[in-house]
C-alpha cells in the first residue's frame, strides 16, 4: 500500500519554529533512550511483545517502533492516569494478571504460550477476548474485554502514536506549541503540515 504521506518526515521540522527546546528534548529522549526491562518478567515482556505485533503489526518497518519498553517504564515508574475503574485491579496488578491470563488462554486452546502461537490463532484469540469470550476459570474476576480494549489496546496505540515515525505516517505535524495551527476547518492545511498523496479538495 502506498503511504499516505510518502515525502513527509516530521523530524524535518527539528530546527523550524514548529519545535522548541522542550519538544526537541522530549523527542530526543523518545528516539535515543529506549528504556530497558525493569518491571516485567522476561516472560511477560515476551507475551506483551507478541501482543504488540498482533495489535499493531509493523511489517514494513526495518526497525519497529518500540512499545513494550515504554509500557514497562510506565509500570516501573507507576505513572497512572489519575483514576481506576472500580472493577479493575490497580494498574500494575492488572497488567500482570492480564498478560498471565492471555498466556494461559493460549496454552488452554493451543498447548503453547501466546508468544509461540501462529498469527491466525493469536488473532482469533484476541478477537474472542474483545467479545468477552474467554475461559472464566482463567480470568476469574478480571474482565477480558475490558483488559483487552481499555488497558491493552489503548496503551499500545498510545505509545505507538507518540513516536515521530507514526506522526510522519499519518501526517501529524507535532505539538501545537509553539507554532500552533491556523487552518482548522475541513480540507485545509497549514503550509508546514504534511501533504497527503493524491489529496484533492472536497
For the whole prediction, is pTM greater than 0.85? yes
Judged by DSSP in three states, 79 sits in: coil
Residues 140 and 88: their CA atoms lie apart, in Å, by: 12
Asked whether residue 112 is domain-assigned, the answer is: yes
Asked whether residue 135 is domain-assigned, the answer is: yes
128 contacts 141 by C-beta, under 8 angstroms: no
Asked whether residue 197 is domain-assigned, the answer is: no
Q: How many structural domains does the chain have? A: 1
Asked whether residue 18 is domain-assigned, the answer is: no
Asked whether residue 61 is domain-assigned, the answer is: yes
Interior/surface letters 67-87, b for 16+ CB within 10 angstroms, e for the rest: bbbbbbbbbeeeeeeeeeeee
Asked whether residue 185 is domain-assigned, the answer is: no
Residues 23 and 7: their CA atoms lie apart, in Å, by: 22
Asked whether residue 195 is domain-assigned, the answer is: no
Q: What is the pLDDT of residues 96-127, one digit of tens each?
A: 999 999 999 999 999 999 999 999 999 999 99
What the block records as the C-alpha cell of 80 is 497512572
Q: Is the pLDDT of residue 197 over 70?
A: yes
Q: Which domain holds residue 96?
A: 40-168
Amino acid at each position: 500500500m502506498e503511504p499516505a504521506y510518502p515525502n513527509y518526515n516530521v523530524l524535518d521540522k527539528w530546527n523550524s519554529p514548529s519545535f522548541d527546546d522542550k519538544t526537541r528534548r522530549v523527542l530526543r529522549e523518545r528516539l535515543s533512550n529506549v528504556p530497558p526491562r525493569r518491571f516485567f518478567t522476561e516472560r511477560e515482556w515476551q507475551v506483551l511483545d507478541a501482543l504488540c505485533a498482533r495489535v499493531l503489526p509493523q511489517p514494513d518497518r526495518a526497525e519497529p517502533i518500540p512499545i513494550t519498553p515504554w509500557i514497562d517504564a510506565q509500570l516501573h515508574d507507576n505513572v497512572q492516569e489519575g483514576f481506576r475503574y472500580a472493577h479493575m485491579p490497580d494498574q500494575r496488578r492488572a497488567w500482570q494478571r492480564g498478560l498471565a491470563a492471555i498466556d494461559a488462554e493460549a496454552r488452554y486452546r493451543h498447548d503453547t504460550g501466546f508468544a509461540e502461537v501462529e498469527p491466525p490463532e493469536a488473532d482469533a484469540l484476541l478477537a474472542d477476548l474483545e467479545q468477552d469470550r474467554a475461559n472464566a476459570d482463567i480470568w476469574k474476576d478480571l474482565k477480558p474485554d475490558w483488559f483487552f480494549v481499555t488497558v491493552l489496546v489503548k496503551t499500545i496505540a498510545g505509545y505507538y502514536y507518540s513516536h515521530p515515525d507514526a506522526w510522519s505516517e499519518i501526517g501529524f505535524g507535532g505539538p501545537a506549541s509553539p507554532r500552533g495551527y491556523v487552518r482548522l476547518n475541513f480540507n485545509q492545511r497549514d503550509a508546514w503540515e504534511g501533504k497527503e498523496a493524491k489529496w484533492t479538495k472536497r
